[in-house]
Amino acid sequence: MSGGVGESSRMTLDNWLISRLAAEMNALLNRSRIQSILTSNSGMILSCYRRGHTLALHAVLDSNAPLAAVLEHTLRQKETSAGGWADSVAALLRGCTIDAIHAVPNDRVIFIDASSRSSFGVPSRTRIALELQPRKANALVLRRAHDDAWVIVAAAKQFQAPPTQSLALGSEPALAQARSVRVGSPYALPPARISRMDRTQFLAATRDIEPGDRASLSHLLRESDPTCSPVLAREAVFRAEAGADAGVDAGSLGARLLHAWGAVRDDLTEAQTHVQPLYVYRQSQGHEEVVTCHLIPLKSLELPEARGASLNALCLSELARGATPLNAALRPLQKRLTTMLARSRAEVKALEEARSRAADAGGLRLAGEAIYGNLAGIETGAAQFVTPEGTSIPLDPTVSAKANAAAYFKRYKKASSGLPRIEARLRVLRANQAHWEQLEWELERAAALPAADAAPLILEIATSLQRTGVGSPDQRDAARRRKRSAPGESARQGQERDRKITLSDDAIAYVGRSPRDNERLTFSVAGPNDYWFHTRGVPGAHVIVKTNGRPISERQVEEAAALAAGQSRAAASAKAEVDYTQRKNVRRHSAGRPGLVWYDNFQTVLVAPKSVTEK
């Protein structure tokens, strides 16, 4: 994290810190199994499962300060999800085991190596490359070819190298190393930074710089050694000026500077070999925003110093403050939900009109019977027939009366036989709409949540949107898996992340975090005599109240109902209606959508919504 005082508040990682971060990620994700990948142009979220926990690796391809970090959830994400630039390789990654996470030496690139075996035992290797250089950040999925070369199979950013040109005197040598990133082409590392001067040139250049010009000295040091980041260059200049390195010719500023940088490098190498807590610097004591951190103390900063054990934790807090791939992932999900809801509502309207016409099918049968009973009295070519009761029946003058009667019977049969299908389709669409409206609200809520809470919610929503239809085979299989699972298994998996609120008289309210968490609380955590709350007619969280075996009081009802209203789309309303009943009166919707339920024997209370964080 090489930013310094006065620079951008977003921290950046130099190659020394990238190496430390890769080691911490490896400790968290090694031997985990990849479950899903969610991607956008601004980053990716890789969801993995390891020893009963789901861990999500976030990579943010911010042009100024790309970052990566791993966060942990206690609920296992059983479904798979994909999207964005990695959609075509999601199946390739799913089920792979992460073998190692390591950094490229002296570079800001992290490799995530994964492997799998086919049903015939044939091994295959896949690699995810996170290139975390500012202004050039990228993420790629690579596949091992037969000649042991790595081939690009997906990339967040693809580009073509400029045409090869002859280098003029004084031009940038990095131009000759330009590379292309295209799916199907071999992978090459980003062009490495190179030293632009040797020791003799460096010493000569420092003679023309005033001793107090720290910026120019830092720039020269970085030009001479590509592994020297801005904050480390300033530290070396500070040490050289402070005369910390005795025995060096005091008259040679360049020699003192090179000696100081050598000492800094030795300290960094020692810190990499023997892992110690990081040195963390903030603007002031108690200030949460981190200015920078490193493996060694940075006396040049003159800022309050603290020790932090985990670079991954610091990166997570930085991701929570800034832009994450979640924000970009929200937009396509919101667009898709809006489109699906609009199409569903249009189809419901058309089907309701068709149902109305089908309800009048009895008139078609009566018209056919009237025509058939008066065949002899209907003239050939007549345009209508008036019954003895005075009812006018339109006729097709080009066909006989008998053919007209047959046409009316055919229309009647079609209309009446289609009515059950219309009703069935309407039930499907309404179940879909209820579920999609719930997901739409969950997306709105996720946009305001910290990254650690929003990530599993967005992954769950992306998974739900991949399902097609209601009551599809995969949903029925999921329902069977729920029935086969051991009693209380879901409750044990999520108990560490339960959102509990203490109500009056020591009653406990559990507030759902997502559709799947709503289902878990209602059907795994709640007992049959516990109380279930939900805001009427709008998407919202399930609230379960446990009263320790005592009847629920009016005060507890109001408190729990206020929580349910506060965690719903009615949260901004002055008052909201909330239904409540005992858990034994709540049952899963036959469609199998998570969190979608039927309930009866309920009561309704009108309350003012209350946030979970309010006391």
Q: Please give the average per-residue pLDDT across 60-89, as a whole number.
A: 71
| 354 class by beta-carbon count within 10 Å (0-12 exposed, 13-18 middle, 19+ buried) | middle
Q: Please give the average per-residue pLDDT across 290-297, as a whole number.
A: 88
DSSP 274-325: S--PEEEEESSTT--SEEEEESS--GGG-S-EEEES-HHHHHHHHHHHS--H
What was the pLDDT predicted at 490? 45
Is the CATH number 3.30.300.30 carried by domain 1-161+175-192?
A: no
DSSP 482-500: HHHSPTTHHHHHHGGG-EE
Q: Taking the C-alpha atoms of 404, 410, 413 and 419 in order, what is their torsion angle to the nearest 10 degrees?
A: -100
What was the pLDDT predicted at 496? 47
| 167 class by beta-carbon count within 10 Å (0-12 exposed, 13-18 middle, 19+ buried) | exposed
What was the pLDDT predicted at 411? 83
Q: For residue 415, what are its two tokens?
A: 């209309």
User: Is pLDDT of 449 > 80?
Assistant: no
Instruction: Look up residue 160 and give its amino acid.
Output: Q
Mean pLDDT computed over every residue of the chain: 81
What was the pLDDT predicted at 451? 62
| pLDDT class of 428 with cuts at 50, 70, 90 | confident
- Cβ-contact 281, 293 below 8 angstroms: yes
Q: pLDDT digits over 93-108, tens only?
A: 999 999 999 999 989 9
Q: pLDDT digits over 218-230, tens only?
A: 999 999 998 999 9
User: Is pLDDT of 448 > 80?
Assistant: no
What was the pLDDT predicted at 228? 92
**Of the spans 13-17, 158-162, 446-450, which averages the highest pLDDT?**
13-17
Task: Decide which of 175 and 602 is more confident.
Answer: 602
Q: pLDDT digits over 514-560, tens only?
A: 888 898 999 999 999 999 999 998 899 999 999 888 899 999 999 99
What was the pLDDT predicted at 28? 94
What was the pLDDT predicted at 475? 41
What was the pLDDT predicted at 286? 59
Q: For residue 75, what are its two tokens?
A: 């609920």
3-class DSSP string for 121-146: CCEEEEEEEEECCCCCCEEEEEEECC
Nearest-10 crossing angle of helices 451-466, 311-321? 70
Q: pLDDT digits over 327-351, tens only?
A: 666 777 787 888 888 888 898 888 8
- Cβ-contact 557, 547 below 8 angstroms: no
What was the pLDDT predicted at 75? 45
| pLDDT class of 325 with cuts at 50, 70, 90 | low
| pLDDT class of 425 with cuts at 50, 70, 90 | confident
User: Is pLDDT of 4 > 70?
Assistant: no
What was the pLDDT predicted at 163? 66
For residues 568 and 578, what is the distance between their CA atoms, to the nearest angstrom?
10
When mean pLDDT is compared across 190-194, 281-285, 448-452, 581-585, the lowest value belongs to: 448-452
For residues 483 and 477, what is the distance between their CA atoms, to the nearest angstrom?
10
What was the pLDDT predicted at 108? 94
Neighbouring-strand partners of residue 127: 113, 142
User: Is pLDDT of 202 > 60?
Assistant: yes
| pLDDT class of 245 with cuts at 50, 70, 90 | very low
What was the pLDDT predicted at 285? 61
The pTM of this model reads 0.59
DSSP 219-265: HHHHHH-TT--HHHHHHHHHHHHHT-STTS-TT-HHHHHHHHHHHHH
Q: For residue 266, what are its two tokens?
A: 């030795």
| pLDDT class of 437 with cuts at 50, 70, 90 | confident
Q: Please give the average per-residue pLDDT across 140-147, as a whole number.
A: 89
Looking at residue 572, the DSSP 8-state letter turns out to be: T
Task: Decide which of 201 and 210 is more confident.
Answer: 201
User: Is pLDDT of 208 > 50?
Assistant: yes
| pLDDT class of 326 with cuts at 50, 70, 90 | low
Q: pLDDT digits over 249-268, tens only?
A: 555 788 889 989 999 999 99
User: Is pLDDT of 606 > 90?
Assistant: yes
C-alpha 571 chain-centroid distance: 24
| pLDDT class of 607 with cuts at 50, 70, 90 | very high
What was the pLDDT predicted at 266? 93
